[in-house]
């Protein structure tokens, strides 16, 4: 056997995982991520902040090529509580560190702002029962399985112990990143945590969860579409009057309590200008009204 054949055999023995499947990189042009954050102390709504991540142009740092992480804030309408009417504020872009990918080793690294050394985020070459080794220890890979994406593509998902069943988001996925915050290092979510709610290539959705994908990839400030509607009286008891500009399609009206629960939901037929709604007996207090899922105003009910 000649030297070239021996070299190829040695490479095949050393890198068995690489020869078994095509690798799908994570840090590709046009890919973007939405991440929502659950706080340690639970507020009225499930999340208290969110951001939209994109990748910048290659940047050379200490001889290695990184891509800067660029962050746009996802806001809520109204801003308090952080319950809905989400939109992406593209008026400002914030730095979020740098990431790089070694496609030969199938690993992704991150360099935090102000940090001297990078940290390993994901190792996509691992198998079931392997260990993902970090500077301060290792985390076992409980299961590796094929995850079908929104567009029908298949990617390897790496489930981390001990929440493989009880906490099924505790995994990282080839090409997508960590489902508990795309660019977080894998951890055990005992209290507050992040959730990757959307991964897209441009406007093509690859993955969705929870609030899903916010806004569109257009490069302009995106505000939620608001229905032109007036709701009265305020305070109210058991009836509400809705006045609106005629809509070409049916419109969904919702009334939510202070905990974000829907207490009344009504579909308003297209071309309606005015309608009266009967409201079930509700505890006195503050409520929010929404059109097409976007919270647009506050109402107070009373007990006469």
3-state DSSP: the chain helix, strand, coil percent, rounded to 5?
5, 45, 50
- If pLDDT is split at 50, 70 and 90, which confidence band does 208 have? very high
Each residue of 222-271: pLDDT tens digit? 554 444 678 888 888 889 998 887 777 888 888 877 666 788 888 888 88
**Which pair of tokens denotes residue 189?**
């979510």
pTM of the predicted protein model? 0.68
Q: Is the separation of the CB atoms in 281 and 263 below 8 Å?
A: no
CA angle 50, 52, 55 (to 5 degrees): 145
pLDDT attached to residue 168: 66
- If pLDDT is split at 50, 70 and 90, which confidence band does 38 have? confident
pLDDT attached to residue 15: 42
Please state which of the ranges 146-150, 181-185, 299-303 shows the lowest mean pLDDT.
299-303
- Among residues 71, 67, 72, the alpha carbon closest in space to that of 27 is found at 67
Query: How many whole angstroms separate alpha carbon 101 and alpha carbon 79?
Result: 36
Secondary structure element (H or E) that encloses residue 20, with its range: helix 16-20
Give the residue, 8 or 25, on which the prediction is more confident: 25
Each residue of 42-63: pLDDT tens digit? 667 888 899 999 999 999 999 9
**Which pair of tokens denotes residue 93?**
């872009």
Ordered structural domains, the chain, with CATH: 15-208 (no CATH), 229-301 (2.60.40.3080)
Q: How far is CA 294 from the centre of its chain?
A: 18
Q: Is the separation of the CB atoms in 240 and 276 below 8 Å?
A: yes
Residues in contact with 291: Cβ distance below 8 Å, sequence separation at least 6, in sequence order: 226, 227, 229, 251, 252, 253, 254
């Amino acid at each position: 056997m000649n030297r070239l054949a021996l070299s190829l055999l040695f490479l095949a023995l050393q890198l068995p995982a690489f020869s078994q499947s095509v690798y799908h990189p994570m840090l590709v042009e046009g890919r973007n991520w939405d991440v929502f954050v659950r706080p340690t102390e639970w507020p009225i709504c499930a999340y208290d902040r969110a951001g939209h991540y994109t990748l910048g142009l290659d940047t050379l740092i200490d001889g290695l090529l990184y891509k800067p992480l660029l962050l746009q804030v996802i806001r809520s309408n109204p801003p308090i509580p952080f319950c809905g009417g989400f939109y992406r504020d593209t008026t400002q872009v914030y730095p979020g560190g740098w990431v790089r990918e070694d496609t030969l080793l199938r690993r992704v690294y991150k360099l935090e702002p102000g940090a001297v050394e990078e940290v390993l985020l994901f190792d996509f070459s691992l198998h079931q029962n392997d260990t993902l080794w970090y500077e301060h220890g290792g985390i076992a890979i409980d299961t590796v399985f094929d995850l079908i994406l929104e567009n029908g593509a298949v990617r390897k998902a790496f489930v981390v112990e001990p929440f493989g069943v009880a906490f099924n988001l505790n995994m990282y996925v080839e090409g997508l990143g960590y489902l508990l915050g795309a660019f977080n290092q894998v951890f055990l979510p005992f209290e507050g945590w992040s959730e990757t709610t959307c991964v897209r290539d441009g406007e093509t959705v690859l993955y969705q969860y929870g609030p899903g994908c916010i806004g569109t990839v257009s490069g302009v400030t995106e505000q939620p579409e608001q229905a032109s509607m007036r709701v009265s009286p305020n305070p109210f008891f058991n009836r509400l009057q809705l006045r609106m500009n005629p809509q070409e399609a049916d419109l969904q009206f919702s009334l939510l309590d202070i905990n974000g629960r829907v207490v009344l939901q009504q579909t308003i037929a297209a071309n309606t200008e005015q309608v009266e709604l009967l409201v079930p007996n509700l505890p006195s207090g503050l409520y929010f009204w929404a059109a097409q899922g976007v919270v647009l105003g506050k109402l107070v009910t009373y007990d006469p």
